[in-house]
Amino acid sequence: MKHVLVTGGAGYIGSHACKLLAQQGYVPVAFDSLVTGWASAVKFGPLVQGDLLDRDALDAVLAEYDPIAVMHFAALSQIGEAEREPGRYWRNNVLGSLNLVEAMIAADCKNLVFSSTCATYGDQDGIVLDELSSQKPLNAYGGSKQAVEEILRDFGVSDGLEAVVFRYFNVAGADVDAEIGEWHQPETHLIPVMIEAAAGARGALTIYGTDYATPDGTCVRDYVHVMDLVDAHLRGLEWLLEGKGSRAFNLGTGTGFSVKEVIAECKAATGHDVPHSIGPRRAGDAAALVSGSRRAIEELGWTPERSTLRDMIADAWRWYQTGGYSG
């Protein structure tokens, strides 16, 4: 059996990666602390509860399953929290990842697919970002992810670790079969917050700023469907198994949508109004962040087929109606 260790495999993106891996004949082993993940999201392979800061637990899971590769999703990822508690992010995201890499080297497992972020680029407003754009993160979340990228490069030189790094933008949507989906408690991401507002499960959505230099004054972001995202991760795994070496890829559609456009599409997709109010700008919000993904398209053969707003919102709405992991 071809085992793949999936850190954060009980989380939003990790659980979707596990489903796709299982469909493609791999056995995904979810390694998750369950601090933000859900045991009920682990449906496609074994769950090992453990923490990246626990080296003994990492050594044990690597010894038991002898994976051909690791997909590394586990991380703290809330920007506001990262600004308030930077030490927690540096400790969890960086030291945890260092533990993982050193355990992998000791176990002679040298293929890693790493979930990074566009936050490593910082505030480069109004340009299409590609893999050669300068990295200048603004907070401990982006900084910690950049630091892990540097760790991977260093261990590539010293120990032959091969890593595919994905820097992606706003992930949305859910499994098309509604078996798994996005379910954070509390929820902070725009599309699920918007869906909760449309369903009457929370108060009005706040639009933070309507005076940006964008067509309708609200922030513009690039959204990618979670199933398209994990398809790229599978392609990254296959890239490594074919011996093509370390590489970084951006993942996005190259098209941005404003907050107001997302709200309008939510109404069209769900048939419900989205109550919303206008608030002041938030510190650090760029007017527009859009990804260039030519490298992933040309080199991995990746196509974000389901990454339309209509599909992302419709799939998220279908998942929400199942009641999520608390339903």
| Catalytic status, residue 208 | no
Is the dihedral angle over the CA atoms 223, 227, 228, 233 positive or is it negative?
positive
Query: What's the pLDDT score for residue 1?
Result: 83
Residue with tokens 């920007």, as numbered in its chain: 79
Catalytic residue (one of 65, 89, 141, 320):
141
Burial 148-159 (b: 16+ CB within 10 A, else e): bbebbeebbeee
Q: What are phi and psi of 31, to 5 degrees?
A: -115, 115
Predicted model pTM: 0.94
pLDDT profile of the chain (327 residues), mean per 10: 96 97 98 94 97 97 98 86 86 94 98 91 75 84 92 98 94 94 85 92 91 92 95 98 97 93 93 93 78 92 93 94 79
DSSP string covering 287-326, please? SEEEE--HHIIIII----TT-SHHHHHHHHHHHHTTTGGG
CB 223 within 8 A of CB 253: yes
- All structural domains of the chain: 3-172+223-251 (3.40.50.720), 190-222+254-326 (3.90.25.10)
Query: What's the pLDDT score for residue 17?
Result: 98
- Tell me the per-residue pLDDT of 156-192, one tens digit each, with 9 for 90 and over: 999 999 999 999 989 999 999 999 999 887 788 899 9
